[in-house]
Structure 1
Amino acid sequence: MTFLLDDAVSDFRFGVEKHYSPTRRDIFNPLNGTLFSISGTEVEIIYVTKNALVKDIQRVIKQLLITKIENAGGAVLHASAFSLDGRAICYVGEKGQGKTTCLLESLKANGAKFITNDRLPIIPISGKFHVLGWFEELRLVQPSGGKKKKLRVLELCEPLRIETRPVPPKLIVLPDCLGKVGNENNAREVIEGQLLTPVDPQRPKWLGYSKSLDFDRDALLDQLPTRRLQWQFQERDELLGKIKEVVDSV
């Protein structure tokens, strides 16, 4: 029996894991009483409350999806993204640079469709990289500060304005509202720093990682143009115009 010190999950920092065989183990969360019984490729969830069940099912599904993506030669990027005319524009950068703000402004454009706000799965299809949608709540910074406001995707967009199919990426944009990006010469360094494969600090570790981590980052970054987008919160009214200029430059 081993103790799991998983700081990635706020309510799962003191889990207990017991191995019965190479393919069977139990994981117990003492804070909400959930027991995960893992046998081969099957995961049984024994729960105490419905709220715990919903949260833990989501965790398992997310991990299984990411593992499948990675095993197919894909990866996950810390980014927000929208599609326009069947191509994806991806905002990549550290926390606080304005990925969510840029996404919200971009969705005001005619024909823009929501893809993701924080996690961007990338997967090769027929030899070319495509990006996939990822549904999670948006957490919006409030002008007065304090706790972020949570917003569901369907509160933001009508279903027809949500991208439901894989789309090829057109452009990577580096939002820069804090003056940290520098110039486009270090774009690759910024983007590589936001790759969440194989290490995602917010990803639960107790189900394990995928066995194959052969994502070809050079194949992705060599074919995609990047642009730096300088902006300021006090000039948000001008942001959509700046975004259109950047997108039209490619």
Structure 2
Amino acid sequence: MTTQTAAAVRSPFDLHGRCAVVTGAGRGLGQAIARGLAQAGADLVLLGRPGSQSSTRDQVADLGGDVEIVDLDISDHDAVERVAAEVTSNRQVDILINNAGVIDRADSVDVSQQSWHRVVDINLTGVFLLCQQFGHPMTERGQGKIVSVASLLSFQGGLRVAAYTASKHGVAGITKALANEWGPLGVQVNAIAPGYMATDNTTALREDPDRSRSILERIPAGRWGDATDVAGAAVFLSSAAADYVNGHVLVVDGGWMAR
């Protein structure tokens, strides 16, 4: 047994010596994922809007982790390529977490082109470009993990979120397509589909008594998810424990999809 294999057997979730890029880590799921990766030992590069990620940086630093903030508007696709090139020129990125995303709620007949393009540009095109830019060095090196945050709306239609649903279906598709191409090159590409989480994106739902009640009645766990519920899944998919998991969309939903 090689030293590397022995280490993986002893501690399959250990991320010491790994560098992870996390997008949209300023709050909610992204912040919890960043903390989880740091607790597992990873060094972090946080990509997101200017001024949005200082709290997460401080929390990771308090955990003893190495952390860097890089400003990035993911809807600016030229900037995605430029920033990715800068990061990969200075670091070996072992893990990419595509978490950043937006949601606009409106009746489908009222969705503007501006709203549609904003959601798709960030949630889908931005994800693909980040995979492309950070994934290329991984394929050349023969090792890497990419984890994107999908959604239950990667499987379902939802209500009043046509662009978001289309984008998250696309994230699931990109995950499978890249897994097929890059799996033979040593790169695992997976996604997490969070259920109904108590984050800013679900504030309107949680504040609507009828919608909140109908949602909770379907969840066997009987509660809204917490951002920390997703962190463990992200650590798993980023670790050696998931070396034979590829092209999978892991649902973390309290049992919603089982009903």
TM over 0.5: no
TM-score by length of 2: 0.32
TM-score by length of 1: 0.33
Structure 1 or 2: more strand by fraction: 1
Structure 1 or 2: more helix by fraction: 2
The structure with the largest alpha-carbon Rg is 1
